[in-house]
A and B are shown apart, each in its own frame.
Chain A
């Protein structure tokens, strides 16, 4: 979900009684999108192994366990 700010995430999660996860800036999400979806339309795309998924997140600097498959 897209929020205006971190504070807006906090308020929404509290109001909706939903778990507070992690956030990424739009710029970081764009960077991740290019890495994650850049080859999605290729006829040769066959999905990713857990190791390949981890590499994508690692490559954009998301190395926290939260982003591990």
Chain B
């Protein structure tokens, strides 16, 4: 398969697996899916990371973020289509129902005091607790420190 096509099909597979199971596939599992060597799947992950299509864990080089989804537990949990998802941040907790085009229940915490926040998306309308989302860096610097952003 041509490399660019493989990369984008790999990306689609990662997202499909997250939607279906809540977590992205390990590189080894992606390799099995495509009938390729694990090293080839890792290389595709790295290229998608370079293109900002996925974000890999700095240590394991497995998928940590497939925006808006997180592969690791966060304080932003979203229930949609009878499944729980983790979102990367306050923006992404709303990004999950936006990406899924679904209703959702959102459980989060206010930064600072850690008190719980509950919201829902119903028929495209956001309801529930109020608040503001802080974007500490200008958009042009978002990829300088993605975890902080």
A45 vs B53: C-alpha distance when bound (angstroms): 10
Cβ contacts under 8 Å, B8 to chain A:
43, 46
Prevailing SS type, chain B contact patch: mixed
Partner of B132, one of A5, A13, A36, A43: A5
Interface residues on B, range: 35 or more
B 39-94 contacts with A by CB, 8 A: 51-53, 67-68, 76, 89-94
Q: Which residues in B have some Cβ–Cβ distance to A below 8 Å? A: 8, 12, 15, 19, 51-53, 67-68, 76, 89-101, 108-113, 115, 117, 119, 121, 124, 126, 130-140
Report the minimal beta-carbon distance from B129 to chain A, rounded to whole angstroms: 8
Report the minimal beta-carbon distance from B82 to chain A, rounded to whole angstroms: 17
CB of B113 within 8 A of CB of A4, answer yes
- Most A C-beta atoms less than 10 A away, residue of B53, B93, B98, B133: B133
Partner of A2, one of B110, B124, B126, B140: B110
A11 vs B112: C-alpha distance when bound (angstroms): 8
Cβ contacts under 8 Å, A19 to chain B:
136-137
State the interface size on chain A (CB cutoff 8 A). 41
Beyond A2-B132, A38-B99, A68-B138, 19 additional contacts (C-beta under 8 Å) are: A1-B111, A2-B111, A3-B112, A3-B134, A8-B113, A13-B136, A18-B136, A24-B135, A25-B132, A26-B126, A30-B126, A33-B95, A36-B98, A37-B67, A37-B68, A38-B98, A40-B98, A47-B52, A66-B135
Cβ contacts under 8 Å, B137 to chain A:
19, 21
A11 vs B110: C-alpha distance when bound (angstroms): 13
Of all chain A residues, which has the CB nearest B121? A30
Q: Which residues in A have some Cβ–Cβ distance to B below 8 Å? A: 1-6, 8-9, 11-13, 18-27, 29-30, 32-34, 36-38, 40-41, 43, 46-47, 53, 57, 65-69
**Can you spell out 7 A-B residue pairs with CB atoms less than 8 angstroms apart?**
A2-B133, A3-B132, A26-B94, A30-B126, A33-B68, A33-B92, A47-B52
